[in-house]
Structure 1
Amino acid sequence: MNDKDESSCWYFAYGSNMSASVFTTRRKIQPLETEVACIKSHTLCFNIMGVPYSDPGMGGLRKINKGDDTRIGPVVGVAYRLSREEFGRVIASEGGGIAYKVVKLAATFEKDGSTAPVYTLIGRHDIDPSYERLPSPRYMGLLIRGARELNLPQSYQEKLASQLTFRPPQSLRYTAGKWSFDAFWKRVQYCIEQGVRTFKDDEGHVPAWFLTGFDCLLWTMWIHHDYVHSKIWGRGDGR
Structure 2
Amino acid sequence: MASVQEPCKLLRKCRDVMARPHKTYPPISSIPRTPEARLHAPPSTATSVLYLAYGSNLCAETFLGVRGIRPISQINVSAPTLDLVFDLPGVPYLEPCFANTALRKVPKLPDPTNPPKVPPINPPWFTAAEGSDQHEENGVAVVPSQDARWTKGLVGVVYEVTPEDYGTILATEGGGSSYADILIPCFALPPRISVPEKPPIDLPKPFFAHTLFAPSIPEEGDGNEGDATAGDGPKKPDGPRNKWYWRFIRRPHRDDPAYSQASARYLKLITDGAREHELPDDYQRYLSNLQAYTITTWKQSVGRLILLFTMLPFFFIVIFGSRLLADKQGRVPLWLAGTMAVVQNMTWMFYDAVLKPIFGDAPKYHTTNEAKALGEFMAKAASRPMLEYDGMSDAYVKDFKTFDDAFRDPEAL
* TM tier relative to shorter chain: over 0.9
2:210 to 87, 112, 119: 119
1:165 aligned to 2:203? no
1:32 equivalenced with 2:72 (yes/no): yes
1:89 CA displacement: 0.9
Cα distance change, pair 125–211 in 1 and its aligned pair in 2 (3 A): farther
Matches within 5 A, 1:182-221: 182-221=308-347
1:99 and 2:187 aligned: no
Q: Which of the two has greater strand per residue?
A: 1
Aligned length: 237
After TM superposition, which residue ranges in structure 1, 4 or more long, deviate above 3 angstroms? 124-129
Of the candidates 261, 277, 285, which is equivalent to residue 134 of structure 1?
261
Structure of larger gyration radius: 2
Greater Cα offset, 7-16 or 203-212? 203-212
Partner residue, 1:147: 274
Q: Contact conserved, 1:166 with 1:238, CA < 8 A, in 2?
A: yes
SS of 1:29 mapped into structure 2:
coil
Q: Which runs of 5+ in 2 are unaligned?
A: 1-38, 109-148, 191-199, 218-252, 366-413
Identity between Structure 1 and Structure 2 (%): 25
Structure 2 length normalisation: TM-score?
0.55
Task: Report the equivalent of 2:83.
Answer: 43
Give the aligned partner of residue 165 of structure 2: 86
1:79-107 CA distances to partner (integer Å, 9 max, x unpaired)?
A: 00011111111111212122111111111
For structure 1, which segment, 112-121 or 214-223, has the greater mean C-alpha deviation from structure 2 after superposition?
A: 112-121
CA RMSD of aligned residues (A): 1.9
1:32: Cα distance to partner? 0.7
Cα gap change, 1:120/1:41 in structure 2, threshold over 3 Å: closer, same or farther? same
2:107 maps to 67
Runs (5+) with no aligned partner, structure 1? none
How far apart are 1:114 and its partner, in Å? 3.6
For residues 144-195 of structure 1, what are the alpha-carbon distances to aligned partners after superposition, in whole Å with 9 as ceiling and x for unaligned?
A: 0000010000000011111122111142x32222111110111011011121
Equivalent position to 2:307, from 181, 184, 187: 181
Give, in whole Å, the separation in 2 of the partners of 1:216 and 1:125. Answer: 17
Q: Which amino acid in the other structure matches residue 210 of structure 1?
A: L
User: Against the structure 1 CA distance between its residues 30 and 71, is the aligned structure 2 distance closer, same or farther, given a 3 Å change threshold?
Assistant: closer
**Structure 1 contact 34–78 (Cα < 8 Å) conserved:** yes
Query: Secondary structure at the residue paired with 2:256?
Result: helix
